[in-house]
Amino acid sequence: MAPRDFPSAKLTLSYPLYACDFDPQDPTRLVVGGGGGPGRSGVGNKITVIDANDQSELAVTGEADLSRDEDSVSCLAVGPRKGKSVLVYAESTKTRTAGSAVPSTNVAEVSRVGLFSATHPEEYQRVVRLGAPSSSGVQLGAAASGLGKEFEIALFEVSPSGSAVPKSKGKLELTRQADDIDVIQTGEDTYQVAYCHEYDIYTVDVVKGVGADPRLVFTTPHNHGTGAPRPQFRSIRYLTSDFILAAANMPKRTGVVLQGIRLPTKVGDNGRVAITTKLPKSVAQATALAVRNLTPPTTPGAQVGNVQFLIAVAGHDSSISLYTLEHKFIETISVLVDLFPLQTLKETHPLQVTGLAFSTYAALKSGTTRPQVKFIDKSTPVRRNGPRRPTRYVVAAKSTNPANRAVLISLSIVILILAVIAQGVLELGGSSPYPWHRQVLQPLWNPPCPHDDFINRIQVGVDYDASEGEALSWEQLTTKQKKLWKEKLRQQGYWAEKMGEDVFKGVLFGQIAGAVGQALGG
């Protein structure tokens, strides 16, 4: 579910979706593909064109029904326009080219070509990527095979002025399957293809359509100290010609890490992790990755300046984690900084998310309309004014530095520990009593008896004289003596009937006892 700051729209189709991509020349045109695969499941294989212009509603503008005897569409890439048609390159056992007329809703297959050797009946095209168009409009594409006896990456070119059929530029023979691939243009006629397998990332330089041998540029190092298993790469995307962003799954579904990897400049060197972060603990595995440069270079292969990248990672729990990443220069050295979380969209789909795509971002000439970047669910970056320098666009919503929270928690713990230590020092020095002693070892205290003062007054009034004989307690007096004593004390104002006889306990009666005896004797 998307928060209010992220307008969202939902559309349910009649078949399961596996791939999606935006038209690079129209950010409101979304193309999706999928299906039920071969067999009699009753679910067809289709490619659908969707109008995403309205933030609150998605509308189907065209759809192509594909053969039900072939595999479903599991990857696609939207290419250049040929006349009034948009070319879409999708896969099954062969690379299909579908044309969607603009602005009509007619979608039809216009070509089909096999790019792989097809040495195995179950071999299929598992991923396809297109590079940015050159000044002439030519784009280099790369497709990776899967489930075959031999693993290949097929290179091809597409052009808005040439045939709709992709022009093959050869194949790269691999020793292991490519789990993901990406393409970047490094010059007018030069490209670089990157692919990953488990713990390794390889690059292939392509000059005028001819690919060189694959080069190992990064291997996730072993942790010899702890012996912990290494994370495996799930998806990779080029940031610049110097950096690759990789999403890697931790072993045993224990989490996902994002890594910004600096590519080596010398052959044989291993790349270095320039920046990294871990996704929330609730995300056990990543299923898709999308990246968008908000200020792309104006010419193919031009240097990328101080820009911000918008990143989306889909998790196994149907969540989409959004991040921002800054690319800056320190003197002449490019660096990656501030890989911060922007927002986490939870429960975006009842099933697992199988594909992510950002729309292209084109700066508006006027400020009357708020610029947007779309990706399945839409986000809304805007421009911020600053001093005169090359235009730079960033996301309007500000990402947060997770380290700030950790610093505050650590600081609070340190202050608490120091307070406990200070209290202990004061107690050892005698400057402060033990606080718990006041609770456990409180001195006993009883309130004074209200008759204590009265007893003292009686004792003083007795005027005891040891020469008169042994003093007697109240209990030792006879009944007549007690009666005389009470009468005498009542007359003198020392006693009243309501006080009872308990007030006489503890008083010695000597002289009066003798006086009573004399009275009785007389």
Q: What is the DSSP string of 240-278?
A: SSSEEEEEEEPGGG--EEEEEEEPPSSTTPPPEEEEEEE
pLDDT band at 178 (very low <50, low <70, confident <90, very high): very high
Average pLDDT on 145-172 reads 84
The segment with the largest mean pLDDT, out of 88-102, 151-165, 414-428, 437-451, is: 151-165
- What type of residue is 111? S
Computed over every residue of the chain, the mean pLDDT equals 80
Residue with tokens 């990332």: 201
More confident residue, 462 or 332: 332
Average pLDDT on 471-487 reads 81
pLDDT band at 520 (very low <50, low <70, confident <90, very high): very low
pLDDT tens-digit profile of 350-394? Answer: 888 989 999 987 665 555 455 566 655 433 333 444 445 667 888
pLDDT at 19 over 50: yes
Average pLDDT on 465-482 reads 72
Strands 382-383 and 377-379: unpaired
Average pLDDT on 296-312 reads 88
Average pLDDT on 497-512 reads 69
Q: What does the pLDDT read at residue 96?
A: 60
Give the range among 418-427, 445-454, 469-478, 511-520 with minimum mean pLDDT.
Answer: 511-520
Instruction: Decide: helix, strand or coil at residue 457.
Output: helix
Average pLDDT on 129-150 reads 84
Q: Which residues pair with 112 in a beta bridge?
A: 96
Buried/exposed code over 374-408 (b: 16+ C-beta within 10 A; e: otherwise) = bbbbbbbbebeeeeeeeeebbbebebeeeeeeeee
pLDDT band at 188 (very low <50, low <70, confident <90, very high): confident
More confident residue, 203 or 54: 203
CB 30 within 8 A of CB 63: no
Q: What does the pLDDT read at residue 66?
A: 84
More confident residue, 67 or 378: 67
pLDDT band at 513 (very low <50, low <70, confident <90, very high): very low
CB 374 within 8 A of CB 356: no
* 441 Cβ contact partners less than 8 Å away, ≥ 6 residues apart: none
Average pLDDT on 397-425 reads 79
More confident residue, 513 or 238: 238
Average pLDDT on 147-154 reads 83
Token digits for 292? 């968008």
pLDDT at 78 over 70: yes
Q: What does the pLDDT read at residue 502?
A: 74
Q: What does the pLDDT read at residue 475?
A: 80
Q: Where are the domains of the chain?
A: 409-440, 452-521
Q: What does the pLDDT read at residue 22?
A: 92
CA atoms within 13 A on the CB side of 377: 24
Q: What does the pLDDT read at residue 369?
A: 55
pLDDT band at 515 (very low <50, low <70, confident <90, very high): very low
Secondary-structure breakdown of the chain: helix, strand, coil percentages, each rounded to the nearest 5 = 15, 40, 45
More confident residue, 420 or 404: 420
Give the range among 177-191, 414-428, 441-455 with minimum mean pLDDT.
Answer: 441-455
Token digits for 361? 């971002």
More confident residue, 366 or 303: 303
Positive or negative: CA dihedral 48, 345, 127, 293: positive
pLDDT at 194 over 90: yes
Q: Walk across the sheet containing 286-293 and list its strands.
A: 286-293, 307-315, 320-330, 333-345
Q: What does the pLDDT read at residue 490?
A: 79
More confident residue, 110 or 378: 110
DSSP string spanning 155-212? EEEE-SSS-SS-EEEEEEEESS--SEEEEEE-SSSEEEEEEEETTEEEEEEEETTEE-
Q: What does the pLDDT read at residue 243?
A: 97
Percent of the chain past pLDDT 90, that is, above it, reads: 29
pLDDT band at 115 (very low <50, low <70, confident <90, very high): confident
pLDDT tens-digit profile of 228-268? Answer: 889 999 999 999 999 999 999 999 999 999 999 999 999 88
pTM of the model: 0.72
* 268 Cβ contact partners less than 8 Å away, ≥ 6 residues apart: none
pLDDT band at 109 (very low <50, low <70, confident <90, very high): confident
Buried/exposed code over 347-370 (b: 16+ C-beta within 10 A; e: otherwise) = ebeeeebbbbbbbbbeeeeeeeee
Instruction: Decide: helix, strand or coil at residue 43.
Output: coil
